[in-house]
Amino acid sequence: MDYMVSAVALEGQVRALAARTTALVDEARRRHGCSPTVTAALGRALTGAALLGSTLKDEQTLTLRIVGDGPIGGILADVDAGGSVRGYARNAAVDLPLRPDGKLDVGGAVGRRGFVYVTRDLGFGEPYTGNAPLVTGEVAEDLTHYLLTSEQVPSAVGLGVMVGPDTTTRAAGGWLLQALPGADPAVVAQLERNIAGLGAVSQQIESGRAPEDILATLLSGQEWRAVDTRPLAFRCRCGRDKALGVLASLGRDELVDMAEGDAGAELTCHFCGEVYRFTAEELAEMAAHLERPV
Protein backbone atom coordinates (compact mmCIF):
# COMPACT_ATOMS: atom_id res chain seq x y z
CA MET A 1 0.00 0.00 0.00
CA ASP A 2 1.17 3.54 -0.77
CA TYR A 3 1.36 6.10 1.99
CA MET A 4 3.07 9.26 3.17
CA VAL A 5 4.39 10.04 6.65
CA SER A 6 4.87 13.60 7.94
CA ALA A 7 7.35 14.16 10.75
CA VAL A 8 8.73 17.03 12.79
CA ALA A 9 12.01 17.46 14.64
CA LEU A 10 13.58 20.17 16.79
CA GLU A 11 10.24 21.47 18.05
CA GLY A 12 8.94 22.02 14.55
CA GLN A 13 12.02 23.80 13.19
CA VAL A 14 12.54 20.84 10.86
CA ARG A 15 9.75 19.22 8.87
CA ALA A 16 10.19 16.02 6.89
CA LEU A 17 8.00 13.86 4.67
CA ALA A 18 8.54 10.50 3.04
CA ALA A 19 6.23 8.58 0.72
CA ARG A 20 6.01 5.28 -1.06
CA THR A 21 4.08 5.63 -4.34
CA THR A 22 4.89 2.46 -6.28
CA ALA A 23 1.29 1.29 -6.77
CA LEU A 24 -0.16 4.67 -7.75
CA VAL A 25 2.64 5.36 -10.22
CA ASP A 26 2.10 1.97 -11.80
CA GLU A 27 -1.64 2.59 -12.00
CA ALA A 28 -0.92 5.87 -13.84
CA ARG A 29 1.47 4.03 -16.18
CA ARG A 30 -1.12 1.35 -16.93
CA ARG A 31 -4.00 3.80 -17.46
CA HIS A 32 -2.06 6.10 -19.79
CA GLY A 33 0.19 3.55 -21.51
CA CYS A 34 3.33 5.40 -20.46
CA SER A 35 6.77 4.62 -21.88
CA PRO A 36 9.48 3.95 -19.27
CA THR A 37 10.79 7.53 -19.55
CA VAL A 38 7.31 8.98 -19.11
CA THR A 39 6.55 6.60 -16.21
CA ALA A 40 9.61 8.02 -14.45
CA ALA A 41 8.74 11.65 -15.26
CA LEU A 42 5.03 11.37 -14.44
CA GLY A 43 5.77 9.23 -11.39
CA ARG A 44 8.14 11.83 -9.99
CA ALA A 45 5.55 14.56 -10.61
CA LEU A 46 2.75 12.55 -8.97
CA THR A 47 4.97 11.83 -5.96
CA GLY A 48 6.13 15.45 -5.77
CA ALA A 49 2.53 16.69 -5.87
CA ALA A 50 1.62 14.32 -3.02
CA LEU A 51 4.50 15.70 -0.93
CA LEU A 52 3.60 19.34 -1.71
CA GLY A 53 -0.02 18.57 -0.82
CA SER A 54 0.74 17.03 2.59
CA THR A 55 -0.94 19.90 4.46
CA LEU A 56 -4.18 19.92 2.44
CA LYS A 57 -7.39 19.68 4.46
CA ASP A 58 -11.05 18.96 3.71
CA GLU A 59 -11.90 19.93 0.12
CA GLN A 60 -8.54 21.55 -0.66
CA THR A 61 -6.55 20.50 -3.73
CA LEU A 62 -3.10 21.09 -5.16
CA THR A 63 -2.18 20.94 -8.85
CA LEU A 64 1.39 20.70 -10.09
CA ARG A 65 2.09 21.53 -13.73
CA ILE A 66 5.50 21.05 -15.29
CA VAL A 67 5.70 22.66 -18.70
CA GLY A 68 9.02 22.35 -20.48
CA ASP A 69 10.30 22.39 -24.03
CA GLY A 70 10.91 18.63 -24.19
CA PRO A 71 8.95 16.05 -26.22
CA ILE A 72 6.73 15.03 -23.28
CA GLY A 73 4.80 18.28 -23.87
CA GLY A 74 3.88 18.94 -20.24
CA ILE A 75 2.86 17.01 -17.13
CA LEU A 76 -0.03 17.65 -14.79
CA ALA A 77 -0.44 16.08 -11.34
CA ASP A 78 -3.26 16.78 -8.94
CA VAL A 79 -3.84 15.74 -5.31
CA ASP A 80 -6.53 16.20 -2.69
CA ALA A 81 -6.65 16.02 1.10
CA GLY A 82 -7.83 12.42 1.02
CA GLY A 83 -4.61 11.22 -0.59
CA SER A 84 -6.14 10.81 -4.05
CA VAL A 85 -3.46 11.40 -6.67
CA ARG A 86 -4.09 11.65 -10.41
CA GLY A 87 -2.32 13.06 -13.43
CA TYR A 88 -1.08 12.66 -16.95
CA ALA A 89 1.64 13.53 -19.40
CA ARG A 90 0.61 15.11 -22.68
CA ASN A 91 2.65 12.65 -24.78
CA ALA A 92 2.66 9.42 -22.77
CA ALA A 93 4.36 7.32 -25.45
CA VAL A 94 7.49 9.47 -25.83
CA ASP A 95 10.60 7.49 -25.01
CA LEU A 96 14.26 8.49 -25.07
CA PRO A 97 17.48 6.47 -25.02
CA LEU A 98 18.98 5.94 -21.57
CA ARG A 99 21.49 8.53 -20.40
CA PRO A 100 25.19 7.61 -20.46
CA ASP A 101 24.92 6.76 -16.72
CA GLY A 102 22.17 4.23 -17.48
CA LYS A 103 19.33 6.29 -16.02
CA LEU A 104 16.05 7.20 -17.71
CA ASP A 105 16.37 10.61 -19.37
CA VAL A 106 13.61 12.47 -17.53
CA GLY A 107 15.26 15.88 -18.00
CA GLY A 108 15.51 15.27 -21.74
CA ALA A 109 11.84 14.29 -21.96
CA VAL A 110 10.55 17.17 -19.84
CA GLY A 111 12.96 19.77 -21.23
CA ARG A 112 15.20 22.14 -19.35
CA ARG A 113 13.52 25.37 -20.38
CA GLY A 114 10.08 26.05 -19.02
CA PHE A 115 8.21 26.47 -15.78
CA VAL A 116 6.82 24.71 -12.75
CA TYR A 117 3.38 25.92 -11.68
CA VAL A 118 1.81 25.01 -8.35
CA THR A 119 -1.84 25.88 -7.78
CA ARG A 120 -3.37 25.57 -4.32
CA ASP A 121 -7.14 25.68 -4.12
CA LEU A 122 -7.83 26.24 -0.44
CA GLY A 123 -11.59 26.20 -0.84
CA PHE A 124 -12.04 29.95 -0.37
CA GLY A 125 -11.18 32.88 -2.63
CA GLU A 126 -9.37 32.41 -5.91
CA PRO A 127 -6.92 29.48 -6.21
CA TYR A 128 -3.35 30.71 -5.79
CA THR A 129 -0.70 29.80 -8.39
CA GLY A 130 3.03 30.16 -7.83
CA ASN A 131 5.67 29.43 -10.43
CA ALA A 132 9.40 29.09 -10.96
CA PRO A 133 11.61 28.38 -13.96
CA LEU A 134 12.75 24.79 -14.55
CA VAL A 135 16.32 24.04 -13.48
CA THR A 136 17.06 20.57 -14.89
CA GLY A 137 13.69 19.10 -15.87
CA GLU A 138 14.49 16.20 -13.52
CA VAL A 139 11.54 17.30 -11.32
CA ALA A 140 13.10 17.05 -7.81
CA GLU A 141 15.59 19.88 -8.47
CA ASP A 142 12.82 21.89 -10.09
CA LEU A 143 10.56 21.53 -7.06
CA THR A 144 13.42 22.40 -4.71
CA HIS A 145 14.02 25.58 -6.69
CA TYR A 146 10.30 26.35 -6.76
CA LEU A 147 9.97 25.98 -2.97
CA LEU A 148 12.94 28.26 -2.36
CA THR A 149 12.13 31.01 -4.85
CA SER A 150 8.33 31.03 -4.94
CA GLU A 151 7.40 29.88 -1.43
CA GLN A 152 10.61 31.08 0.30
CA VAL A 153 11.06 27.76 2.12
CA PRO A 154 14.57 26.30 1.87
CA SER A 155 13.94 22.62 1.12
CA ALA A 156 15.55 19.49 -0.18
CA VAL A 157 13.50 17.10 -2.31
CA GLY A 158 14.25 13.56 -3.48
CA LEU A 159 12.05 11.74 -5.99
CA GLY A 160 12.62 8.41 -7.68
CA VAL A 161 10.92 5.87 -9.93
CA MET A 162 12.47 2.53 -10.86
CA VAL A 163 11.07 0.92 -13.99
CA GLY A 164 11.61 -2.82 -14.40
CA PRO A 165 12.71 -4.62 -17.59
CA ASP A 166 9.02 -5.51 -18.19
CA THR A 167 8.31 -1.71 -18.16
CA THR A 168 6.17 -1.91 -15.00
CA THR A 169 6.97 0.23 -11.97
CA ARG A 170 9.20 -1.64 -9.55
CA ALA A 171 9.54 1.11 -6.97
CA ALA A 172 8.61 4.75 -6.55
CA GLY A 173 8.76 7.23 -3.73
CA GLY A 174 10.07 10.50 -2.48
CA TRP A 175 10.99 12.66 0.45
CA LEU A 176 11.01 16.33 1.35
CA LEU A 177 12.97 18.02 4.10
CA GLN A 178 12.49 21.62 5.23
CA ALA A 179 14.31 23.62 7.88
CA LEU A 180 12.78 26.88 9.04
CA PRO A 181 14.94 29.93 8.36
CA GLY A 182 17.12 30.47 11.43
CA ALA A 183 17.48 26.76 12.20
CA ASP A 184 20.78 25.89 13.94
CA PRO A 185 23.51 25.70 11.22
CA ALA A 186 25.00 22.64 12.93
CA VAL A 187 21.67 20.88 12.59
CA VAL A 188 21.39 21.89 8.93
CA ALA A 189 24.89 20.54 8.30
CA GLN A 190 23.90 17.24 9.96
CA LEU A 191 20.76 17.05 7.78
CA GLU A 192 22.86 17.66 4.68
CA ARG A 193 25.12 14.75 5.66
CA ASN A 194 22.05 12.59 6.22
CA ILE A 195 20.74 13.45 2.74
CA ALA A 196 24.11 12.65 1.18
CA GLY A 197 24.10 9.27 2.91
CA LEU A 198 20.57 8.31 1.91
CA GLY A 199 21.16 7.31 -1.71
CA ALA A 200 18.53 7.04 -4.44
CA VAL A 201 15.01 6.90 -3.01
CA SER A 202 13.83 4.42 -5.65
CA GLN A 203 16.52 1.98 -4.49
CA GLN A 204 15.51 2.53 -0.87
CA ILE A 205 11.91 1.66 -1.68
CA GLU A 206 12.94 -1.24 -3.92
CA SER A 207 15.00 -2.75 -1.10
CA GLY A 208 11.89 -2.75 1.10
CA ARG A 209 12.55 0.31 3.25
CA ALA A 210 9.35 1.98 4.44
CA PRO A 211 8.76 5.76 4.52
CA GLU A 212 9.45 5.66 8.29
CA ASP A 213 12.87 4.07 7.63
CA ILE A 214 13.71 6.83 5.14
CA LEU A 215 12.69 9.46 7.72
CA ALA A 216 14.89 7.76 10.31
CA THR A 217 17.88 8.15 7.96
CA LEU A 218 16.99 11.75 6.96
CA LEU A 219 16.51 12.83 10.59
CA SER A 220 19.30 10.71 12.05
CA GLY A 221 20.86 12.45 15.05
CA GLN A 222 17.65 14.37 15.84
CA GLU A 223 14.71 13.53 18.01
CA TRP A 224 11.75 13.31 15.72
CA ARG A 225 8.17 12.13 15.73
CA ALA A 226 5.63 11.24 13.06
CA VAL A 227 2.67 13.62 13.15
CA ASP A 228 0.54 12.28 10.31
CA THR A 229 0.23 9.20 8.11
CA ARG A 230 -1.86 9.48 4.97
CA PRO A 231 -2.73 6.63 2.58
CA LEU A 232 -2.12 7.53 -1.08
CA ALA A 233 -3.79 6.06 -4.15
CA PHE A 234 -4.39 6.85 -7.81
CA ARG A 235 -7.98 8.03 -7.76
CA CYS A 236 -9.82 10.39 -10.07
CA ARG A 237 -12.70 12.71 -9.27
CA CYS A 238 -14.34 12.17 -12.67
CA GLY A 239 -17.53 10.17 -13.13
CA ARG A 240 -20.40 9.55 -15.53
CA ASP A 241 -22.42 12.39 -14.00
CA LYS A 242 -19.62 14.89 -14.60
CA ALA A 243 -19.21 13.63 -18.18
CA LEU A 244 -22.96 14.18 -18.65
CA GLY A 245 -22.55 17.74 -17.40
CA VAL A 246 -19.81 18.37 -19.96
CA LEU A 247 -22.07 17.08 -22.75
CA ALA A 248 -25.02 19.16 -21.54
CA SER A 249 -22.81 22.26 -21.57
CA LEU A 250 -22.40 21.83 -25.36
CA GLY A 251 -26.03 22.88 -25.74
CA ARG A 252 -29.10 21.40 -27.33
CA ASP A 253 -28.21 21.90 -31.02
CA GLU A 254 -24.84 20.23 -30.68
CA LEU A 255 -26.42 17.27 -28.88
CA VAL A 256 -29.10 16.90 -31.57
CA ASP A 257 -26.37 16.90 -34.26
CA MET A 258 -24.43 14.27 -32.36
CA ALA A 259 -27.54 12.13 -31.83
CA GLU A 260 -28.38 12.28 -35.55
CA GLY A 261 -24.88 11.12 -36.39
CA ASP A 262 -26.10 7.93 -34.67
CA ALA A 263 -22.69 7.01 -33.33
CA GLY A 264 -23.26 8.36 -29.84
CA ALA A 265 -20.52 10.19 -28.00
CA GLU A 266 -17.38 9.25 -26.19
CA LEU A 267 -15.63 11.36 -23.56
CA THR A 268 -12.20 10.48 -22.23
CA CYS A 269 -10.97 11.86 -18.91
CA HIS A 270 -7.50 13.38 -19.38
CA PHE A 271 -6.54 12.68 -15.79
CA CYS A 272 -7.22 8.96 -15.63
CA GLY A 273 -7.98 7.79 -19.17
CA GLU A 274 -11.47 6.58 -18.21
CA VAL A 275 -13.83 6.53 -21.22
CA TYR A 276 -17.51 7.48 -20.84
CA ARG A 277 -19.79 6.38 -23.70
CA PHE A 278 -23.24 7.73 -24.45
CA THR A 279 -25.61 6.24 -27.02
CA ALA A 280 -27.43 8.30 -29.67
CA GLU A 281 -30.67 7.66 -27.70
CA GLU A 282 -29.13 9.06 -24.53
CA LEU A 283 -27.95 12.15 -26.42
CA ALA A 284 -31.42 12.69 -27.94
CA GLU A 285 -33.01 12.32 -24.51
CA MET A 286 -30.57 14.82 -23.04
CA ALA A 287 -31.28 17.29 -25.86
CA ALA A 288 -35.02 16.94 -25.28
CA HIS A 289 -34.46 17.62 -21.59
CA LEU A 290 -32.47 20.79 -22.37
CA GLU A 291 -35.30 21.95 -24.63
CA ARG A 292 -37.76 22.18 -21.76
CA PRO A 293 -38.25 25.60 -20.33
CA VAL A 294 -36.83 25.92 -16.87
Binding residues (CB under 5 A) for Zn ion: these are 236, 238, 269, 271-272, 274
Residue 224 or 234 with smaller CB distance to Zn ion: 234
Q: Which is nearer to Zn ion, 141 or 274 (CB)?
A: 274
Task: Tell me how far, at minimum, the Cβ of 90 lies from Zn ion, in Å.
Answer: 16
Residue 167 C-alpha from the chain's centroid: 20
Q: How would you classify residue 125: left for phi > 0, otherwise alpha for psi between -120 and 50, otherwise beta?
A: left
Question: What ranges make up the beta strands (E) of 244-288?
Answer: 265-268, 275-278
Q: Which is nearer to Zn ion, 84 or 178 (CB)?
A: 84
Sort residue 203 into left (φ over 0), alpha (ψ -120 to 50) or beta: alpha
> Whose Cβ is closer to Zn ion: residue 24's or residue 272's?
272
CB of 240 to Zn ion, least distance (A): 11
Of 50 and 236, CB closest to Zn ion: 236
Smallest gap, in angstroms, from Cβ of residue 270 to Zn ion?
A: 7
**Smallest separation, CB 140 to Zn ion (Å):** 26
CB 96 within 8 A of CB 105: yes
Q: Which residues contact 174 (CB under 8 A, 6 or more apart)?
A: 18, 19, 21, 44, 47, 48, 50, 51, 140, 157, 158, 159, 160, 201
The nearest distance, CB 255 to Zn ion, in angstroms, is 22
